Chain A
């Protein structure tokens, strides 16, 4: 078995355009969620974690050629690669793009005239981004609801194991649009105040936008000491829009990754919908992990859909590097059906193994394990 190392990363979010800035904000308890009153997005005032695209534009060459979704990917990939020895245009490197809705806003905004309908097709948008970086290999595009980002990491690990590539750049992004907001509103799953993961008074989720990029490599260097060990996915086979009460799929995904192993820290999906957080507490208990510290980053960055798994895995890796656990913002009075050990304050904690989990519509669930050494 080859070892697969995390070689570089970037997060481009409402809390800054690099991970160090994001982590400083998280440590200070700063949330990227702000109440937004914008009729082109929603009739209701909603907490949203929006990216400062004006600032982002100044960091991208010819930014007018790209949609917001493409700009997030381009910035995040370029920033992750900057200073690393990974050549994205090499035949040994694959680009994996993950997203839930990609350029969907082109369907209903004035941007449609500028970019045309074709860019809504995910492979077209991916091609535009790949061309920016002159990749030789055709990018692999994953669109699997809210586990897209985790699946991107899982597939990168498997492809590297197989030996076809030496490096995989996994980049996930999603932007906030009226389309996405209306959809979650139709499900009555949005909170009118910043979301409160695992809290007894949680009423729904908050949306965010952003990108995350994780570069994985089979090449070990002295700075690379965190490995992607393995990942898995599983379907609940229960309901297309609601989580399983027995947490079947998430439990299976965790079991496939961990077997009987334990971990030092879990980064949960923690969307702050009543059902999701209960379901996660059931899965964590069924897997015998009730005592393991767990948090959600949704109250810092909102739910960034197809980017969430990558952004949150990167934050977890920072926790490993620093041996620090970050407070699960918004989780005040824990109220989930099974007891879990939600992180209430920032604290030092030795982390050798870290598990990222996620779930989404369509009954999909995924988990991926990172380890030091």
Chain B
């Protein structure tokens, strides 16, 4: 069934490039994840000290969310009703492996907390003041139909006004991907693209 929901922004971060709304705006010059994500952080002059404490998965999700929400002015009610629906394949495997290495010495709470994939949604919620619905799904691969179905379900069935949804997956320095989109329940926003699985695929794969 068709909806009147609209895509406000869509962001893709891959080892090759950063794309906003289908347009490449930042090509990666062969950097590994850490330098690359720091460059994006600096490029957008983001100033958020907590960023440097996050694990790599959260850094990736945080930056993608930062750009997906850029220039959108949330009202207090909208913040309270912005949902987060994220999915990935590896959950927190990279940080899990690092945590396992500390099992026989002194495991750190600062590391353990990042062994939950929904922590990424906690970080994004704290940054933007989002208090809406949250759900993290494990999926084999990024599938725009899956993202569409679950964003639509939450927009249809709850008081959610905006939904930040998509895929954020981190394997290692050279294998990672984020495809996030901010979707509004209302069609009244100027020049917005209609929220459909096809349009999502167009924006993310173009």
Contact = CB atoms under 8 A, between A and B. Distances in A.
Interface of A: 100-101, 104, 107-108, 120-123, 126, 140-145, 151, 155, 158-159, 161-162, 178-179, 182-183, 185-187, 232-241, 248-249, 252, 256, 360-364
A120 B93 contact: yes
B137 A240 contact: no
A159 B107 contact: no
Contacts of B103: 108, 178-179, 182
A32 to B, nearest CB: 25
Contact of B157 (A126, A158, A235, A249): A158
A143 B117 contact: yes
B138 A241 contact: no
Given A252-B80, A362-B119, A363-B125, A155 B112 contact: no
Contacts of A361: 113, 116, 118-119, 122
Interface in B89-127: 89-91, 93, 96-97, 99-100, 102-103, 106-109, 111-113, 115-123, 125-126
Given A179-B96, A361-B116, A240 B122 contact: yes
A107 B96 contact: yes
A231 to B, nearest CB: 10
B139 interface: yes
B131 interface: yes
A183 B99 contact: yes
Contact of B134 (A104, A144, A238): A144
Given A143-B117, A179-B103, A123 B131 contact: no
Given A158-B153, A237-B131, 16 more contacts: A104-B96, A108-B100, A121-B89, A143-B118, A143-B137, A179-B115, A183-B99, A183-B107, A233-B134, A233-B135, A235-B130, A237-B130, A361-B119, A362-B118, A364-B121, A364-B134
Interface string B124-156: 011011111111111110000000000001101
A361 B120 CA distance: 11
B159 interface: yes
B156 A162 contact: yes
B116 A248 contact: no
B99 A140 contact: no
B118 A234 contact: no
A238 B159 CA distance: 21
By Cβ-Cβ distance, the 7 closest A-B pairs, closest first, are: A362-B122, A122-B138, A183-B112, A141-B138, A235-B125, A186-B107, A237-B125
Contacts of B126: 237-240, 363
19 contacts: A100-B116, A121-B138, A122-B91, A141-B137, A142-B136, A143-B91, A145-B116, A145-B119, A158-B154, A178-B103, A179-B115, A182-B99, A186-B108, A234-B132, A235-B130, A239-B122, A240-B113, A361-B122, A362-B122
B131 A187 contact: no
A331 B103 CA distance: 33
B122 A144 contact: no
B158 interface: yes
Contacts of B125: 235-237, 363
B112 A187 contact: yes
Contacts of A187: 109, 112
Contacts of B158: 232, 256
A248 B134 CA distance: 14
B84 interface: yes
Contacts of A143: 91, 116-118, 136-138
Contacts of B80: 252
A104 B129 CA distance: 31
B193 to A, nearest CB: 24
Contacts of A241: 109, 113
A101 B138 CA distance: 12
Contacts of B109: 183, 186-187, 241
A178 to B, nearest CB: 6
A158 B160 CA distance: 14
A78 to B, nearest CB: 22
Contact of A107 (B97, B112, B130): B97
Contact of B90 (A104, A121, A155, A179): A121
Nearest to B106: A186
Contacts of B89: 121, 123
A145 B100 CA distance: 18
A153 to B, nearest CB: 12
Contacts of A140: 137
Nearest to B97: A107
A235 B122 contact: yes
Contacts of A141: 137-139
A179 B156 CA distance: 39
A143 B135 CA distance: 8
Contacts of B120: 362
B137 to A, nearest CB: 6
B59 to A, nearest CB: 14
Contacts of A232: 133, 158
A187 to B, nearest CB: 5
Contact of B100 (A151, A162, A179, A237): A179
A142 B137 contact: yes
B118 A144 contact: yes
